[in-house]
Amino acid sequence: MVANNVPLKDFRNIGIIAHIDAGKTTTTEGILYRTGINHKIGEVRGDGDGATTDWMTQEKERGITITSAAVTCFWKGCKINIIDTPGHIDFTAEVERSLRVLDGAVVVFDGKMGVEAQTETVWRQANKYGVPRICFVNKINQIGGDFYKSLDTIHARLSKHALPIHLPIGFEKEINGVVDLVDMKAYTYSDYTDHEMVVGDIPADMLNKAKNARSLLVEAAVEADDELFERFLEEGEDSISVDELKVALRKRVLAGDFYLVTGGDGRGVMVEKVLDLVADYLPSPLEVGAIQGTNPKTGDAMERKAEDSEPLAALAFKIATDPFVGKLIFIRVYSGKLSAGSYVLNTATGAKERVGRIVRMHADKREEIDSISAGDIAAVVGLKNTFTGHTLSDVAHPITLESITFPEPPVSIAVEPKTKADQEKMGIALQRLAEEDPTFRVHTDEETNQTIMSGMGELHLDILIDRMKREFNVEANIGEPQVAYRETIRGTAKAQGKHAKQSGGRGQYGDVWIRFEPTESGEGFEWGDEIKGGVVPQEFRAPVEKGIKDTLAGGVIAGFPMIGVKATLYDGTYHDVDSSELAFNLAGVLAVKEGIPQANPVLLEPVMRVEVTTPEEFMGDVIGDLNSRRGRIEAMEDLQGGAKLVKAFVPLASMFGYTSDIRSMSQGRAASTMELAQYEEVPPNVALEIIEKRKK
């Protein structure tokens, strides 16, 4: 490895993001090979050494990326921290937390498919965090690969502000290089695995096409600079030098709403052109600007610059269990310096923690280092109570950075240990897995005493169970997947909750009037306090809120948690001697039982946004099947290669086993993705069935 003396302006923290099977991991392998980290390119599937970043057994078997892997490489003086993220929708939280700490991204597209369902999801996530991107259209040298059609899908589905910076020379298997539109030179190779490209003149038959494409590029670039724009209008594009064009393009890319597009094969020499784009056009930590945070004591806004001299501010964005060193906390340092053996303040818990060791990660291999500076990413060993989204700061200068929010998991299964010996091991395994994965939840069902695992989808839970067996040697029996239903109210009701007991000596007295109504957002729980004149003393109001909140967690229709409810305390009475916190807590409980049934309670179910890519001949079967699952077809689109895209909203309860169903329906040629869209009201006939099942 190269010494850590790279200036901060030459750091690049980037993610490789895309739809499943677009070639993210292969592109990462190509980068590691071209930068000299690896001596050969690992295969994503098969029994060989496997891809560097797909190091988990489950990843090698399935040929997909499950966890984000971090690797560091060096290119033309730049130090590049790369995170290879998953493409499968069940692991979207991995993408979310990676984008939270990255400064730039390379979006990989399958040149045979163009923009796919999950590409749109990761693109939206990158928009959310304002991450500048460059686009790499992969696999264009394979049969069916088409750079220009893929570019059209980017324009149609993602952004019109995506322009090629390279044009491929040739088509499909005949591709043998690119035209660079900045220096107007051809870079060719005889075999895509060549070690370097030959620089030459642009082929005569491509000259006009290249000139037209360059004009569009220059026109877009000069918008970043008024002086250049005026000169361009007066003197034309020839007045703009190559260096000026590069600076202007960089400005446009860093603004986050303009994207440079290149294409090639992720295993080949074209990856060097992608690395050049990363070095030339994606931001360093200095260009991202100061990180915003708040003072944990006062709540005042604060900021920290990306400098070693500033007090420490770092964000923990991922937890991993390493068989050799225990719990690894992946952190991004935004300011200051973190040294091994030092003490830091976890502002989420308010506790001080000691940093044991700091390791630079190369997927599952580790290189120990003494310290990590502003702008860098590494993993820390020894932090006991630090989890995803926690801020680590200087003890004397605390700051809290914005945490990472994750969606609620919609799919649950019951799991029980096969033997007494498995019971204790299962508890430890589930705790460790839940620490690593913030979209995985575990709780005990109080009615049945079963352990319930909740996750983002069937594949997510399947892999967690597989990991439990292999990594923790836990054998378990697995129940049927369950849907995370919710309850809410559609109307308004007022109710009295009165708890009065007199049984010798001091009695119990609590009396409240509560108004129940739906929240505007339809989510969460809101509390309102309209008490005037102290008819309910201040110290008794919090117990009322707690009693209501705890009771709503158990629902009123079928025992599912209630969401979207606002409860307002507007009247009540108390007794000087007999009133207590417990009495008012119970009064709140009684108000819920009295009022919620009058507020038109309804059952809600998770509805998934489903996208199916299918050859045209199976289109009718796919649509008919989605309709039979209570699906609503939202749109149908044409894709490259004669394929069709069907977009629909379908209740999760109808989607279990859909992946295998659609494969058999389409002879293995159709594919689907789904993500949670929203909660919707369950039709009355279906709701009755669910309630009957719960009673049993």
The full DSSP string for 545-607 is HHHHHHHHTT-SSSSPPB-SEEEEEEEEE--TTT--HHHHHHHHHHHHHHHGGGS-EEEEEEE
1 inside domain: no
- Give buried/exposed letters for 345-371 (b at 16+ CB in 10 A, else e): bbbbeeeebebebbbbbbbeebeebeb
Q: Are residues 267 and 307 in the same domain?
A: no
Is residue 138 within 8 Å of 144, Cβ to Cβ?
Answer: no
pLDDT for 195 equals: 74
pLDDT at 181 (0 to 100) = 94
Q: Is residue 2 part of a domain?
A: no
Would you place residue 205 in the very low, low, confident or very high pLDDT band (cuts 50, 70, 90)?
very high
> Percent of the chain at pLDDT above 90?
35
Angle at 641 between CA 640 and CA 647, to 5 degrees: 55
Range 367-371 average pLDDT:
86
- Residue 487 contacts residue 603 (beta carbons within 8 Å): yes
Res 639 pLDDT > 70 = yes
Query: Which of 286, 315, 342 is the endpoint of a domain?
Result: 286
If asked whether residues 203 and 257 sit together in one domain, one would say yes
Q: What pLDDT score was predicted for residue 620?
A: 92
pLDDT in tens, 380-422: 988 888 887 889 999 999 999 887 777 677 777 888 888 888 8
- Cβ contact 67:437 at 8 Å: no
- Kindly give, in sequence order, each residue whose CB lies less than 8 Å from that of residue 152, ignoring residues fewer than 6 positions away: 114
- Phi first, then psi, for residue 551 (nearest 5°) are -70, -40
Q: What pLDDT was estimated at residue 45?
A: 37
Choosing from 286, 316, 338, the residue where a domain stops is 286
Q: Which one is predicted more confidently, 430 or 515? A: 515
pLDDT at 503: 67
Range scoring the smallest mean pLDDT among 198-202, 523-527, 641-645: 641-645
CB atoms within 10 A of CB 302: 19
Q: Which residues are 167's β-sheet partners?
A: 179
Asked whether 84 and 68 are in contact (CB, 8 A), the reply is yes
Contact 674, 655 (CB under 8 A): yes
Which neighbouring-strand residues pair with 643? 615
Is the predicted pLDDT of residue 270 greater than 90, yes or no? no
Last residue of a domain, one of 575, 599, 623: 599
Same domain for 503 and 549, yes or no, is yes
Do residues 504 and 571 both lie within one domain? yes
More confident site: 99 or 53: 99
**Per-residue model confidence (pLDDT) at position 60:** 40
**H helix or E strand, kind and range, residue 428:** helix 420-436
pLDDT band at 68 (very low <50, low <70, confident <90, very high): very low
Question: What residues form DSSP beta bridges with 650?
Answer: 608
Domain membership flag for residue 423:
yes
Judge if 590 and 625 occupy the same domain. Answer: no
Residue 84's pLDDT is what?
Answer: 62
Residues 6+ apart with CB under 8 A from 129: 99, 100, 102
Tell me the percentage of the chain whose pLDDT exceeds 70.
88
Identify whether residues 507 and 449 lie together within a single domain: no
Question: Do the Cβ atoms of 426 and 476 come closer than 8 Å?
Answer: yes
513 backbone φψ class: left, alpha, beta (φ>0; ψ -120 to 50): beta
Helix H or strand E segment including 214: helix 207-221
Whether residue 511 is contained in a domain is answered as yes
Same domain, 84 and 188: yes
Find the CATH number of the domain harbouring 100: 3.40.50.300
Q: What pLDDT does 659 receive?
A: 75
CATH number, position 594: 3.30.230.10
Range of the domain at 624: 606-695
Same domain, 156 and 47: yes
> CA 347 to CA 334: how far, in whole Å?
15
Residues 188 and 298 placed together within one structural domain of the fold: no
Whether 406 is covered by a domain: the verdict is no
Residue keyed to tokens 């309850």: 487
Q: In what order do the strands lie in the sheet with 411-417?
A: 441-444, 451-455, 411-417, 476-483
Give mean pLDDT, residues 516-537: 90
Average pLDDT of 527-553? Answer: 91
Q: What is the pTM for the complete model shown?
A: 0.69
93 exposed, middle or buried (CB, 10 Å; 0-12, 13-18, 19+)?
buried
Which has the minimum average pLDDT: 150-164, 217-231, 428-442, 681-695? Answer: 428-442
At 518, list the tokens: 């739906």
Residue 4 within any structural domain of the chain: no
pLDDT band at residue 277 under the 50/70/90 scheme? very high
Q: What is the pLDDT of residue 88?
A: 46
Res 549: pLDDT: 94
Overall average pLDDT of the 548-574 stretch: 92
Give, to the nearest 10 degrees, the angle between helix 117-128 and helix 92-101.
30
pLDDT band at 696 (very low <50, low <70, confident <90, very high): low
Tokens of 157: 């589905």
What's residue 612's pLDDT? 87
Confidence at 94, pLDDT banded by 50, 70, 90:
low
Could you tell me the two tokens for 97?
Answer: 């937390």
- pLDDT confidence tier of residue 20, bands split at 50, 70 and 90: low
Is a pLDDT exceeding 60 seen at residue 49? no
Domain count, the chain: 5
Q: Whole-angstrom Cα distance, residue 115 to residue 19?
A: 8
Whether residues 256 and 310 share a domain: the answer is: no
Q: Tell how strand 177-180 and strand 185-188 pair up.
A: antiparallel
Residues 159, 116, single domain; the answer is yes
The CATH number of the domain holding residue 337 is: 2.40.30.10
* 643 in a structural domain: yes
Model confidence at 476, in pLDDT bands (50, 70, 90)? confident
**Which CATH number is 417's domain given?**
3.30.70.870
Torsion of CA 527, 528, 533, 538, to 10 degrees: 20
Q: Is 546 exposed, middle or buried (0-12, 13-18, 19+ CB in 10 A)?
A: middle
Indicate if 391 and 424 belong to the same structural domain: no
Domain-embedded: residue 547: yes
> Which one is predicted more confidently, 598 or 410?
598
Instruction: Return the pLDDT at 507.
Output: 81
Of 4 and 480, more confident: 480
pLDDT at position 65 is 36
